[in-house]
Amino acid sequence: MWRHIFQTLGLLAAVWLLGDLVVGWFQQNTVRTTRTEPRKRSDKSSRLAADTPDQSCFCHLTGVLDDCFCDIESIDSFNNFKIYPRVKMLTERDFFRYYRVNLKRPCPFWADDGHCSNRDCNVEPCPESGNFNKYSQAANTVSDVAAWLCLEKRVFYKLISGLHSSINMHLCSQYLLDERWGKSVWGPNTQEFRQRFDPAETKGEGTRRLKNLYFLYLIELRALSKVAPYFDRSFINLYTGNAQEDGATKDLLLQIFNETKAFPMHFDESSMFAGKKLEAKILKEEFRLHFKNISRIMDCVGCSKCRLWGKLQGLGTALKILFSEKEIQSLSENSPSQGFQLTRQEIVALLNGFARLSTSIHQLHVFRSLLKVKR
Catalytic residue among 57, 107, 121, 303: 303
Q: Residue 309 corresponds to which amino acid?
A: W
The whole-angstrom separation of Cα 302 and Cα 122 is 10
- Contact assessment for residue 225 and residue 257, using Cβ atoms and an 8 Å cutoff: yes
**306 in active site:** yes
The whole-angstrom separation of Cα 183 and Cα 180 is 5
- Show Cβ contacts of residue 37 under 8 Å, excluding neighbours closer than 6 positions: 204
- Show Cβ contacts of residue 114 under 8 Å, excluding neighbours closer than 6 positions: 103, 104, 106, 107, 302, 304
Q: Is 335 annotated as a binding residue?
A: no
Q: Is 196 annotated as a binding residue?
A: yes
The whole-angstrom separation of Cα 111 and Cα 299 is 11
**303 in active site:** yes
DSSP H or E segment with residue 184: strand 183-187
- Contact assessment for residue 107 and residue 316, using Cβ atoms and an 8 Å cutoff: no
Q: Is 161 annotated as a binding residue?
A: yes
Looking at residue 71, what DSSP letter applies? B
Q: Residue 281 corresponds to which amino acid?
A: K
Q: Which residues pair with 338 in a beta bridge?
A: none
- Contact assessment for residue 114 and residue 107, using Cβ atoms and an 8 Å cutoff: yes
Catalytic residue among 68, 107, 172, 306: 306
Alpha-carbon distances, residue 205 vs 65, 141, 194, 267, 321 (angstroms): 15, 31, 12, 23, 31
Query: What phi-psi label fits residue 340: left (phi over 0), alpha (psi between -120 and 50 degrees) or beta?
Result: beta
Residue burial 49-81, b: 16+ Cβ < 10 Å; e: rest: beeebbebbbebbeeebebbebebeebbebbbe
Query: Which residues are designated catalytic?
Result: 303, 306
The annotation places the binding site for FAD at 161, 164, 196
The annotation places the binding site at 161, 164, 196
